[in-house]
Amino acid sequence: MSEKRAVILGAAGFIGSHLVDRFLAEGWRVTGVDNLITGTLRNIEHLSRETRFDFLEADVCGSLDAIQGTVDAVLDFASPASPIDYLEHPFETLHVGSIGVENALKLAKRTGAVFLLSSTSEVYGDPLEHPQRETYWGNVNPIGPRAVYDEAKRFAEAITVAYRRYEKVQVRIARIFNTYGPRMRLDDGRVVPTFVAQALRGEPITMFGDGSQTRSFCYVDDNVEGMWRLLHSSYEDPVNIGNPHELTILEFAKAVQRLVGSDVPIVSRPLPQDDPRVRRPDITRAKELLGWEPKVGFDEGMRRTIAWFEQQV
Ligand code: NAD
Ligand code: UDP
């Protein structure tokens, strides 16, 4: 049997680079594409001698004609993902979620590949249903500051489904909930790197609002396993991939203090506009269809992440 080939868009990013590692470990050839807007070559530098990996520094909103030959899977993980990043790059975020995703779908059609979209729990906005099931249509402010990301991802899902319906591209849609682990940028502004870096540096932990808003954190290895299984399924509707273990942000701040072994104070800062009040995936669909559920517990995942951040601080 000939070697399989994946094209991973956003390959120098946090999740994308872990996916590259997984596909190579499974014996695939991988072409990585990234324009390095929020990613870094450091995430893939360990692959510089890997003959089954090649890297194309390119914007997925431009031509992808340089990618020739058969491709088995196109995995689209290219997009600024942290609030700080997408608020700093609003147009790039809107473009990559629309033009970039259509280019990626065209690449999948041209090469006969299955297309996997990294969608997000943000399509549920500030949810009025809790936990969130895939059948929920969401509560998104289309003109709020987060809209550049949320609405781009909702468009990305819509165009992905249109390519399935009208162009017969095989598609997979992963609705990814807050994912964390090694290779997150320390300064990406997301709560995991921010609180850990603050605790490690002996600085106050900046909790937004009163910390009663909730999130549910999934370790990156569990996410990658979910992507692998989803790709290999034949399911074309969205699937939530996240960890249902839900914490308030205040509980999370205290957990960081405990796990880092630091007694830095927790200080309150203004809550950003439209910050979702609650977020927790209902993963029944992933369990039933993919036999998937997270395996890495919160303390274990955080220990591995903290160990990695310690080397970066
Ligand atoms: P990241 O910023 O670390 O990775 C994104 C990568 O895409 C970066 O390397 C960036 O340089 C690249 N990129 C962005 N725009 C590009 C363009 N126009 N052309 C080429 N490359 C481009 O973020 P991440 O956390 O790894 O997120 C990856 C994907 O997963 C994103 O689509 C994001 O929306 C999705 N997602 C992530 C999470 C999470 O918690 N990490 C949650 C939900 C969804
Ligand atoms: N948050 C916080 N302090 C920070 C960064 C984030 O309290 O320094 C909060 C933020 O308001 C949100 C939660 O942590 O309620 C998760 O934020 P993150 O940016 O990681 O992800 P998202 O809001 O996209 O889920």
Mind listing the pLDDT tens digit for each residue in 59-73?
999 999 999 999 999
- Tokens 């910390």 sit on residue: 211
User: For a substitution probing ligand 2, which of 118, 120, 176, 208 has the most ligand atoms within 8 Å of its CB?
Assistant: 208
The model's pLDDT over 2-35, given as tens digits with 9 standing for 90+, comes to 799 999 999 999 999 999 999 999 999 999 999 9
Res 256 pLDDT > 90: yes
Q: What does 68-126 look like in DSSP terms, one character per residue? A: -S--SEEEE--S--SHHHHHHSHHHHHHIIIIIHHHHHHHHHHHT-EEEEEEEGGGGBS
Smallest CA separation from ligand 1 atom 4, residue: 13
Res 1 pLDDT > 80: no
For residue 20, how many other CB atoms are within 10 A of its CB? 29
Would you say the CB of residue 213 lies under 6 angstroms from ligand 2?
A: yes
pLDDT at 2: 78
Cα R_g (the chain), whole angstroms = 19
Res 194 pLDDT > 80: yes
pLDDT at 80: 98
- For ligand 1, the distance from its centroid to the CA atom of residue 84, given in whole angstroms, is 13
**Identity (one letter) of the amino acid at 126?**
D
Mean pLDDT computed over 173-179: 98
For residue 262, how many other CB atoms are within 10 A of its CB? 16
The model's pLDDT over 82-105, given as tens digits with 9 standing for 90+, comes to 999 999 999 999 999 999 999 999
* HSE-up (13 A, CA, CB side) for residue 148: 19
Smallest CA separation from ligand 2 atom 18, residue: 190
Would you say the CB of residue 95 lies under 6 angstroms from ligand 2?
A: no
Would you say the CB of residue 206 lies under 6 angstroms from ligand 2?
A: yes
CB 16 within 8 A of CB 223: no
pTM of the predicted structure, to 2 decimals: 0.98
Nearest to 163 by CA among 213, 124, 110: 110
- For ligand 1, the distance from its centroid to the CA atom of residue 252, given in whole angstroms, is 23
- Tokens 């993902």 sit on residue: 81
**Distance between CA 34 and CA 19 in Å, rounded?**
14
Torsional sign, CA 298, 270, 186, 263? negative
Q: What does 32-50 look like in DSSP terms, one character per residue? A: EEE--SS--GGGGGGGTT-
Would you say the CB of residue 80 lies under 6 angstroms from ligand 2?
A: no
The two three-digit tokens of residue 262, written as one number: 């630091």
Res 151 pLDDT > 90: yes
- For ligand 1, the distance from its centroid to the CA atom of residue 262, given in whole angstroms, is 31
**Helix 220-232 with 14-25: angle, nearest 10 deg:** 60
Coil, helix or strand for 166?
helix
pLDDT at 6: 98
CB 207 within 8 A of CB 184: no
**Distance between CA 256 and CA 53 in Å, rounded?**
36
Nearest to 226 by CA among 279, 281, 152, 188: 281
**Distance between CA 266 and CA 254 in Å, rounded?**
8
The two three-digit tokens of residue 197, written as one number: 């870096």
Domain-wise residue ranges, the chain: 5-177+220-242+281-295
Q: Which CATH architecture has domain 5-177+220-242+281-295?
A: 3-Layer(aba) Sandwich (3.40)
**Distance between CA 35 and CA 12 in Å, rounded?**
9
Would you say the CB of residue 191 lies under 6 angstroms from ligand 2?
A: yes
